[in-house]
Amino acid sequence: MRTTRRHAATARLLATLASLSLLTAACGNNDDGGEETGGGAAEGYPDQNITFVVPFSAGGPTDTVTRLVAEPMAQELGVEIVVQNIEGAGGTVAAGEVSQEDPDGYTVLMHHVGMSTAPALYADLGYDPLEDFEMIGLVTEVPMTIVARRDFEPETLEELVDYVTENADTVTYANAGIGAASHLCGLLFQDAIGVTLQEVPYEGTGPALTDLVGGQVDFMCDQTTNTTGQINAGEVKAYAVTTPERVESLPDLPTTAEAGLPDVEVAVWHGLYAPAGTPEEVVQVLSDALKVALADQAVIDQLAELGTAPVPEEDATPEAHRERLEEQTKSWAQVIADAGVEPQ
């Protein structure tokens, strides 16, 4: 009798364990037969508004690119995307704040080439661009233009070089602060002609361009997304575009190579970032929405009017984005070192 009871108890225990095992398997596998419990990480995402943080002022080129892609991405994701501008220190203030946000996909950073130069420009950055972020995808690569107040004396890039060389102590060069694309372009320009200029930093090239149009500063280097309208309207004087080929929206503007400064070549690439630890599935949802936005004809047309275009689809991926950031971090570190710029 004891043996029968013992066998019955054992049978009940085994049955209970089997039931628990089946329950655990059902919860973990979620009908997919896989081992990942994170398969549902993107399930229900997004279910609230997403914030896109721009590290420069409203109305500037990075802000313009962000707002262009945010609308079709929001439509694809089915939620509102709120654009927030957090200015300061060449974009590092915003990047530092986003790196500390919850890795849930609801706070995303749009940054440009400055993400790759910050490690060489700041001694105490507070974050590692490669370690503290998940890359979502590249967005666009924007040419830059060398422009001046419309009553500035030089008429050509060659004349500008001569004038700046002779008047380096009094000429003012506007930029958006250390690490901004306008600052990097200025470094290349100064290194190419062998002068050190009086730099006037702003909290973004939006207000810098406003002062340039108003005649408060002499010249600057800025993205076509910010200068094309003013150039075509005759509000500023344009000397060159900093890419190997001319841009369709400014067909009469020579390249820096054509105008005699082949070493001043720079384009500003933009990418989307999420805080490190954001689930891979969530990153993929954002990356897929980015691809949809970049294929939107309205986005393509508006970027063309601003002298640029979306990146190819294969570059709007986390993998291509990480590769670009790694390569550019190394190459810009060398450029900055060669220019004799010490980390601040």
| Six-digit token string for 247 | 């841009």
Q: With the C-alpha atoms ordered 32, 33, 35, 37, is the resulting torsion angle positive or negative?
A: positive
Which DSSP string corresponds to 27-56?
Answer: HHHTTTT-S-SGGGTTTT---S-EEEEESS
Angle at which helices 280-294 and 318-338 cross, to 10°: 80
- The H or E element containing residue 219 is strand 219-223
Pairing relationship of beta strands 81-85 and 219-223 according to DSSP bridges? unpaired
Three-class DSSP category at 81? strand
118, 179 Cβ separation under 8 angstroms: yes
CA–CA separation, 161 and 142 (whole Å) = 24
275, 107 Cβ separation under 8 angstroms: yes
CA–CA separation, 128 and 88 (whole Å) = 17
Q: Which domains does the chain have, with CATH numbers?
A: 50-141+268-338 (3.40.190.150), 143-241 (3.40.190.10)
C-alpha of 231 from chain center? 24
Nearest to 305 by CA among 230, 224, 239: 224
User: Tens digit of pLDDT per residue, the chain (344 long)?
Assistant: 333 333 333 344 334 333 333 333 333 444 444 334 344 567 899 999 999 999 988 988 899 999 999 999 999 999 999 999 999 888 899 999 999 999 999 999 999 999 999 999 998 899 999 999 999 999 999 999 999 999 999 999 999 999 999 999 999 999 988 878 898 899 899 989 999 999 999 988 889 999 999 999 999 999 998 899 999 999 999 999 999 999 988 999 999 999 999 999 988 999 999 999 999 999 999 999 999 999 999 999 999 988 899 999 999 999 999 999 999 999 899 888 887 888 88
Instruction: Spell out the alpha helix ranges (H) of the chain.
Output: 2-29, 61-77, 92-99, 114-121, 157-166, 181-193, 205-213, 224-232, 280-294, 297-305, 318-338
CA–CA separation, 175 and 146 (whole Å) = 12
